[in-house]
A and B are shown apart, each in its own frame.
Chain A
Amino acid sequence: MTVAPGRPPNQVVCDSGAETPASGEPLVMVRDLRKSFDGQVVLDGISLSVETGDLISIIGPSGCGKSTLLRCLNLLEVPDSGEMRLVGHGIVRDGGRWRRSDERLAHALRTEVGMVFQSFNLFGHRTVLENVMLAPVVARRTGRAVAAKEAMALLEKVGLAQMASRYPATLSGGQQQRAAIARALAMAPRVMLYDEPTSALDPELAEEVLGVMRQLDDEGMTQLVVTHEMRFARAASDRVIFMDSGRIVEELPPETMFTIPSDPRTRQFLRNYL
């Protein structure tokens, strides 16, 4: 798919059966994505593709645009230009204005994408169980009984069944982040995005969270993880992306990335961690 001249700046492309991309097509495909904030270029032509079931780690120095890239993938941030295709939802941007109709497109796209934040962002006024139930009940109109049952199952899966009726503020950071993962999973996304999910956690609490992510990987979930956990990136990833100054410098299998990276900038960056 290319940007043909005369095409409207933003265009939704929905295949018949938007849920599943055509066979052979990657689950996530990004081409030449660009984004600036007030003239400062933050994403400078990003292209990548992710196959179903992949776990991709994204590493890079602070301010290189990792968070911005993730936020663009579920349109919390609107890219200036470029193409994206996620689970059959396509978006083409060519610098045009973001319209109300585009907001509907963003909404449709987000049904396929779950996001986990560094600061958890659990809803403080709701119990853990209600946090997990809220989106299905409100956004998907699932019955409360069904939603509660599914939420309980997800909490069980992340090891928080005992905490269901607690308020988030009374949980440890690791427990909060696992609750946040359960909450994202409740909407049955096809892709999970994590923005430094363990940066705010002590090592042993981080391990609880990384354990859940490994388990999801085993179950075939497609995951993109921005992380500073190099050991996790090396052990669990299918591929590792190194970003610098808004570009993807290189994208390699983890063993290669951490032993013989080809670019000097990657070597410079990794030296600080080894």
Chain B
Amino acid sequence: MGSALAFLLLFLGHALATPLRWASDSQSGAPFVFHDPADQAKLTGFETDLMQVLARKMGRTPVFVQNDWDGLIPGLQRGLYDVVIDGIEITPEHRAVVAFSTPYYRTAERIAVRRGTDGLDTVEALRGHVVGTLKDTTSQRLLEKAGGITLRSYEDETNAYSDLANGRLDAVMLDAPIAQYYAVPDDRLKLAGGPIGSLSYGIAMKQGDAALLSAVDAGLESMRRDGSLRRILQDWAMWTPEMASYLDDQSTEQVPPKAWDHWVASTRPTASLQARLARYAGFLPLIGRAALMTLAVSACAMVLAVAWGLALALARRYGRWPLRGAATLYIEIVRGTPLLIQILFIFYGLPSIGVRLDPFLAGVVALGLNYAAYEAENYRAGLQSVPHGQMEAALALNMTPAQAVRHVMVPQAFRFVVPVMTNDFISLLKDSSLVSVITLTELTQAYIRLSTTYYDYLGTGLLIGGAYLLLGLPFVRLARIAERRLSRSVRATQPR
């Protein structure tokens, strides 16, 4: 009976194929995991292809989870997903915090320079020059060790290469796949010298889950043996002699590099205005969805901020001292620390004491609790600007202090704070961009994604800026209507 049940469960488990939640930062660029430049809704990249096959080999359904680069490892520790794949180098530092699969790709660093530059083809030759790279990479460590190099560490490879093209940098040293995808197709740039050093990418997962680790490794081994890993790398034009010997795969099968060709074709600078406009039109669905997210997070956060802010203001103005002290402390702490830290704290910090919020809720809570502190100070000022005679009149009419506050003081205080609240809401719309660090794709995230794909910070910037303005506009109007309605009775009833 018991074993029959166990068998049934096992059977069900297989039939339903538990999801394999894999995370990556789709903003971190080609050729890893990124959005197809020709179709922003489509996730692509050689790691995306690899994960589809790997999950199938493991008998699980792949489910992609977007997360910001800096949040990838913390999210793993939080249990937001099972594995992370994003060109993460297997280094002792990384090994200290996560477990790694066997490497799925081995490569080296490559130097890129402007066409017409000669001689900068080794690390030693870079001494005395300005060199760009990504922060926290093998490349950065190599350049630091060489000494005498003016180092610029970037968050994003597109910025490094565009600074190289603009002449702000003399050279950029990065992983060979990145150099291939960003420097090679660019007519202004070329690769210099040969491969430097060596590095391996591994799939990262939480430490201590031996079952998952061996399942991933078994899947990779199976992909090596049946040639599917090679075919993916060939598709992306990343199959190298080094990989052939590492995987011990000397097959002569020819797979055309379709994915690479597609990348080159779709990122070629478009000269014609028409092509540009067509491309912008293609952005609109993504921008629309991102705008909705921005609006939803901001509106929910504002509702929370108003309610909680009012409670804090009442505690500060009318509460007895322990309550008043607590409210003051809260307001000072919240106003005295950066919003970004509060967001990260709520999303990544609270789970260690058992409070797990999904990204949307965490964003709303973080923004709401933060803005509540500012709203509270507005409301307190508003309450103070209501003449004390109003309170006395209400008490003399036999209202309790609570009734007087609710029916007489608060409504009149609100008239003073409506204009300020509108301003606050508009800055909340803008501050909501910070929730992109906890995996929410809102407008700013969309801007980063689109502009880094196309090197087009100008056109995309205007589009996204326009979206923010459009979002804010209705609230400016709404505030004006509210002010007009309230001003009918706004002059306090003072003796003439």
Contacts and interface: CB of A to CB of B under 8 A. Distances in A.
Interface of A: 74, 76, 107, 110-111, 113-115, 117-126, 134-135, 138-140, 167-169, 173, 176, 180, 183-184, 187, 199-201
Contacts of A183: 397
B398 A124 contact: no
B393 A138 contact: no
A183 B393 CA distance: 10
Contacts of B494: 119
Nearest to A202: B496
B194 interface: no
Interface stretch (B22-30, B168-176, B270-278, B484-492): B484-492
B408 interface: yes
B397 A124 contact: no
19 contacts: A76-B396, A107-B400, A110-B397, A115-B396, A117-B393, A119-B495, A120-B495, A123-B412, A124-B489, A124-B490, A124-B493, A125-B415, A125-B486, A125-B489, A134-B397, A134-B408, A139-B399, A184-B397, A201-B495
B452 to A, nearest CB: 51
Nearest to B411: A125
B496 A200 contact: yes
Contacts of B489: 124-126, 167-169
Nearest to B495: A200
A246 B361 CA distance: 62
A200 B496 CA distance: 7
Contact of A135 (B397, B490, B493): B397
B395 to A, nearest CB: 7
A183 B399 CA distance: 13
Contacts of A201: 495
Contacts of A168: 489, 493
Contacts of A119: 387, 389, 493-495
Q: Which 7 pairs, one residue from A and one from B, show the smallest C-beta to C-beta distance?
A: A200-B495, A121-B393, A135-B397, A167-B489, A115-B396, A121-B389, A169-B491
Contact of A187 (B397, B490, B493): B397
Contact of A124 (B395, B396, B412): B412
A121 B392 contact: yes
B122 interface: no
Contacts of A123: 390, 393-394, 408, 412, 493
Given A74-B396, A124-B491, 17 more contacts: A76-B395, A76-B396, A115-B396, A119-B494, A122-B493, A123-B394, A134-B397, A134-B407, A135-B397, A135-B398, A138-B407, A139-B403, A168-B493, A169-B490, A169-B492, A200-B496, A201-B495
Interface of B: 387, 389-390, 392-400, 403, 407-408, 411-412, 415, 486, 488-496
A227 to B, nearest CB: 15
A156 B372 CA distance: 46
Contact of A111 (B398, B495, B496): B398
B398 A173 contact: no
Contact of B398 (A117, A120, A187): A187
B323 to A, nearest CB: 14
B399 A135 contact: yes
Contact of B488 (A121, A138, A167): A167
Given A110-B395, A117-B389, A173 B495 contact: yes
Contact of A139 (B390, B400, B495): B400
Nearest to B489: A167
B121 to A, nearest CB: 77
A151 to B, nearest CB: 13
Contact of A118 (B395, B397, B407, B495): B495
A121 B387 contact: yes
Contacts of A122: 393, 493
A220 to B, nearest CB: 21
Contacts of B492: 124, 169
A110 B393 contact: no
Contacts of B490: 124, 169
A121 B412 CA distance: 13
B484 to A, nearest CB: 14
B407 to A, nearest CB: 5
A126 B410 CA distance: 13
A166 B400 CA distance: 26
Contact of B496 (A134, A140, A173): A173
Contacts of A120: 493, 495
A195 to B, nearest CB: 10
B390 A121 contact: yes
Contacts of B491: 124, 169
B118 to A, nearest CB: 78
Contacts of A169: 489-493
Contacts of B399: 135, 138-139
A138 B490 CA distance: 23
A168 B490 CA distance: 10
Contacts of B496: 173, 200
A168 to B, nearest CB: 4
A125 B393 CA distance: 14
A183 B398 CA distance: 12
Nearest to A113: B396
Nearest to B392: A76
A208 to B, nearest CB: 15
B398 A139 contact: yes
Nearest to B389: A121
Q: Which of B395, B400, B403, B486 has the most CB of A within 10 A?
A: B395
A100 to B, nearest CB: 10
A95 to B, nearest CB: 22
Contacts of A117: 389, 392-393
Q: Which of B390, B486, B495 has the most CB of A within 10 A?
A: B495
A204 B212 CA distance: 92
A173 B496 CA distance: 7
B493 A121 contact: yes
B454 to A, nearest CB: 53
A139 B387 CA distance: 21
Q: Which of A76, A118, A125, A138 has the most CB of B within 10 A?
A: A125
Contacts of B392: 76, 117, 121
A206 to B, nearest CB: 12
Nearest to A135: B397
Nearest to B390: A121
A187 B390 CA distance: 17
A176 B397 CA distance: 16
Given A123-B393, A124-B491, A107 B415 contact: no
Contacts of B493: 119-124, 168-169, 176
A168 B389 CA distance: 15
B495 A110 contact: no
B389 A138 contact: no
B409 to A, nearest CB: 10
A116 to B, nearest CB: 9
